[in-house]
Amino acid sequence: MDAYRIDQKKGMEFGLYTLGDHIPDPHTKERIPARQRLKEIIELAKLCEEAGLDYFGVGESHQEYFTTQAHSVVLGAIAQATKRIKIGSASTIISTLDPVRVYEDFATLDLISDGRAEIVAGRASRVGVFDLLGYRLRDYEELFEEKFELLLKIQEEERVNWVGDHRAPLKNAQVLPRPLEGKMPIWRAVGGPPASAIKAGAQGVPMFIAMLGGPASSFKESIDAYRQALTEHGHNPEDFPVTTAGGFFAAGTTQEAQRMLYPYFNEGMKLTNGRGFPKQVFAQSSDHRDVMNVGSPQEIVEKILYQHELFQHQRYVAQIDFGGMPFSELRKNIELMATEIVPKVKKYTKK
Amino acid sequence: MKIVAVAGSIMGHRTRTAVDYAVKEIKEHYEEVAVELIDLSEYQMVFSDGRNYLDYEGDTLKVTKALMEADAIMIGTPIFQASIPGTLKNLFDLLPVHAFRDKVVSILVTAGSPKHYLIPEQQLKPILAYMKAQVVQTYVFMEEKDFRRKEIVSDDILFRIQRLVEDTVVLTKAYAAMRKEKEDQYGF
């Protein structure tokens, strides 16, 4: 785990991530300006650091209702505004970027932040970025696999010789600067089903798995498949961390948390995915076996510990700002994390 | 209540004629319903390549959006090669997995042979069920002899269309009321 800067003696890491969505508040129908949203994201990262959280991630989505398309730039501002918290993507769409440029950006970020930068490389769920940046959607899978492999190669070899289908060849290319300690964590972002988790295991890279909703036991299948694939390919699962990522909202009671979150979640899903989130499914999120961490602080602690028992993961990152959630509510949630949730989670997950 | 009536083929006129009758029935007898007719032959649809429907453009986006925003959908389909036409299947492929959740869907079928009677049962209903539709179980099955040019000449078929429209509206109202009653209990 040292290679990924994770010390399990301190307990499971706890972080936050944002997709940088930029959505009107469903109650007022008003949307804050992009400038304010970006500054609030930077402020949110500072609050996370003050609250003792371990990680802050920013994603890129290239369509309407998002505002962190240039996520590495946002992370640069966060690097300057913080001192201790780890920072990274959630995720970087490596398929439609140049891996050389991504490595340059994040290695720079690692130096500016004194060794706190990480890359989480993913494939995009919405695909407007393919047209926008000039890629063919039919190459969706190949673009990701080839460019992700190149990214890993750049990390391993300071001088790179490489030939592929989706980028000009590299001849004895030196990719600079190098990260503070020579390397930085590079994660593979995966969705729910095991297929992608198995690929992460086969590659011997840490896995960042997104969990929107549903029973935790279903996601355990993917995590088990990941660790099995690691073993089958000669890696030791003990060396590779798993991050789980998903929705989070804490309030005084479960009912209050659900009442507060639902309109933001539902309207945000409608705008970004084209359909809302069924109330019937959302209602089941109050069950401790469901992965969505919505409820009172005590219930959330129990849920996260239950998930940890199943997954034995090394980091959990929460998404709390989706759907135009007002900043005042984000602040309250960070306070609850700092005072009532994170200390307990850490206490019971120390190794 | 918003109903979208789809003529699911770009060939021939009988399916469109049957859908026209259903739309007329809605307009004449159900003031509370806003009905929109989508005849696929009037739209330039692209083939599904798996992207989110919001990422399409032009007619494809227009049609998929209309369907996603509907409370109920009446699907008119001919039978081609013992199945639904590719144009209709493409429409389903363009939509998200659970696109018909909380929607009522009913079916009007035109066929060249009575031997095709069970095709919608075996080929269309499983798709609708997978997409989570509340399906009106009875469909109207029409043959060539029921039409004269762009007119339906069978009183039996006309009565059946009236009943199908009624079932579609009643089921949509009932389902919405049931869902509301349950959702009011959730407290969020």
Complex ipTM: 0.87
8 Å CB contact of B49 and A273: no
Residues of chain B with C-beta less than 8 angstroms from the C-beta of A279: 183, 186, 188
Distance from C-alpha of A236 to C-alpha of A240, rounded to nearest angstrom: 7
Residues of chain A with C-beta less than 8 angstroms from the C-beta of B176: none
- What average pLDDT does this structure show over B19-29? 98
Whether the predicted pLDDT of B183 surpasses 90: yes
Residues of chain B with C-beta less than 8 angstroms from the C-beta of A127: 51-52, 55
8 Å CB contact of B52 and A282: no
Residues of chain B with C-beta less than 8 angstroms from the C-beta of A323: none
> Residue length, chain B?
188
- What average pLDDT does this structure show over B30-51? 97
Assign residue A272 a region (left: φ > 0; alpha: ψ between -120 and 50; beta: otherwise).
alpha
Q: Minimal Cα distance from B70: which residue of A?
A: A275
Distance from C-alpha of A305 to C-alpha of A307, rounded to nearest angstrom: 5
Whether the predicted pLDDT of A192 surpasses 80: no
- Closest partner residue to B51 among A137, A255, A282, by Cβ? A137
- pLDDT confidence tier of residue A270, bands split at 50, 70 and 90: very high
8 Å CB contact of B52 and A258: no
Segment A108-146, tens digit of pLDDT: 999 999 999 999 999 988 888 999 999 999 999 999 999
Residue B126: per-residue pLDDT? 98
CA distances from A278 to A166, B42, B102, B119, B127 (A): 40, 33, 9, 31, 20
Find out whether the peptide bond into A297 is cis, omega within 30 degrees of 0: no
The helix/strand/coil state of B160 is: helix
Residues of chain B with C-beta less than 8 angstroms from the C-beta of A278: 101-102
Whole-number average pLDDT of chain B: 97
Percent of chain B past pLDDT 70, that is, above it, reads 100
Whether the predicted pLDDT of A161 surpasses 90: yes
Residue A125: per-residue pLDDT? 83
The DSSP 8-state label assigned to residue A126 in this structure reads S
- What average pLDDT does this structure show over B147-172? 98
- pLDDT confidence tier of residue A185, bands split at 50, 70 and 90: very high
8 Å CB contact of A126 and B55: yes
- What average pLDDT does this structure show over A227-248? 98
Q: Tokens 């493409």 map to which residue? A: B90
Structural domain count of chain B = 1
Distance from C-alpha of A274 to C-alpha of A65, rounded to nearest angstrom: 12
Distance from C-alpha of A9 to C-alpha of A152, rounded to nearest angstrom: 28
Residue A285: per-residue pLDDT? 92
8 Å CB contact of B187 and A274: no
- Closest partner residue to B53 among A128, A274, A282, by Cβ? A274
- What average pLDDT does this structure show over A292-321? 97
Whether the predicted pLDDT of A232 surpasses 80: yes
Residue B54: per-residue pLDDT? 95
Structure tokens given for A188: 């593979």
Residue B62: per-residue pLDDT? 98
Assigned architecture for domain A2-349: Alpha-Beta Barrel (3.20)
Q: Minimal Cα distance from A138: which residue of B?
A: B49
A54 in Cβ contact with A346 (< 8 Å): no
> Residue length, chain A?
351
CATH of the domain at B172: 3.40.50.360
Q: Tokens 């989670």 map to which residue? A: A345
Percent of chain A past pLDDT 70, that is, above it, reads 100
- What average pLDDT does this structure show over A45-66? 97
Residue A126: per-residue pLDDT? 86
Residue A128: per-residue pLDDT? 87
B94 in Cβ contact with B131 (< 8 Å): no
Residue A10: per-residue pLDDT? 96
A-B contacts (CB, under 8 Å) = 48
- Closest partner residue to B183 among A128, A137, A279, by Cβ? A279
Distance from C-alpha of B74 to C-alpha of B27, rounded to nearest angstrom: 14
The helix/strand/coil state of A21 is: strand
Q: Which residues, 6 or more positions from B42, have their beta carbon under 8 angstroms from its beta carbon?
A: none
8 Å CB contact of B52 and A259: no
Whether the predicted pLDDT of B170 surpasses 80: yes
8 Å CB contact of A274 and B102: no
The DSSP 8-state label assigned to residue A179 in this structure reads P
Can you point out the beta strands (E) in A219-326?
A: 242-250, 293-295, 315-319
Residue A55: per-residue pLDDT? 98
8 Å CB contact of B188 and A126: no
- What average pLDDT does this structure show over A147-168? 97
A42 in Cβ contact with A78 (< 8 Å): yes
- Closest partner residue to A278 among B68, B99, B101, by Cβ? B101
Q: Tokens 């992608």 map to which residue? A: A196
| Orientation angle between helical segments A194-203 and A140-156, nearest 10 degrees | 30
- pLDDT confidence tier of residue A158, bands split at 50, 70 and 90: confident
A234 in Cβ contact with A259 (< 8 Å): no
Residues forming beta bridges with residue A294, ordered by sequence position: A249
Residue B42: per-residue pLDDT? 98
Picking from A351, A322, A316, the residue whose alpha carbon sits closest to that of residue A337 is A316
- What average pLDDT does this structure show over B59-78? 98
A107 in Cβ contact with A178 (< 8 Å): yes
8 Å CB contact of B98 and A280: no
For chain A, the domains span: 2-349
- Closest partner residue to A255 among B50, B102, B188, by Cβ? B188
State the CB neighbour count (10 A cutoff) for residue A84: 12
8 Å CB contact of A126 and B52: yes
Q: Give the distance from CA A251 to its chain's centroid.
A: 23
- pLDDT confidence tier of residue A205, bands split at 50, 70 and 90: very high
Segment A277-305, tens digit of pLDDT: 999 999 999 999 999 999 999 999 999 99
Distance from C-alpha of B117 to C-alpha of A24, rounded to nearest angstrom: 49
